[in-house]
Amino acid sequence: MNLYLYLGVLIACIGIFGLLAFRSLGKRLISANILSSGVFIYLIAGGVGDPVPQALVLTGLVVSVSATALAVALISLNYEQ
């Protein structure tokens, strides 16, 4: 299971790198989603069989979906102007 912990951290780092390195808004949005997936993998891998991290990830997913929706709305507004 330890492998997944490290993988989660690695994916999160890739996401942070993407957020900082790209200027393109679409790429940054994808990087933010990669970052959140990394964090969620870390949480799930750390707490196998424990319901609390799974509940945290579920809430986190909802937050991440709404943040993505807001970002998409803002980015499309930005392209229209």
**Can you give 1-33 as a three-state secondary structure string?**
CHHHHHHHHHHHHHHHHHHHHCCCHHHHHHHHH
- Residues 6-45 vs another protein: string with x where CB under 8 A? ------x--xx--x-----x--xx--x--xx--x--xx--
How many chain residues interact with another protein (CB under 8 A)? 30
Residue in the block written with tokens 């709305």: 73
- Strand, coil or helix: what is 47? coil
Q: In whole angstroms, what is the distance from residue 25 CA to residue 72 CA?
A: 9
Q: Is 71 in the site for another protein (CB under 8 A)?
A: yes
Q: Which residues contact another protein (rule: CB under 8 A)?
A: 12, 15-16, 19, 25, 28-29, 32, 35-36, 39, 42-43, 46-47, 52-53, 56, 59-60, 63, 66-67, 70-71, 74-75, 77-78, 81
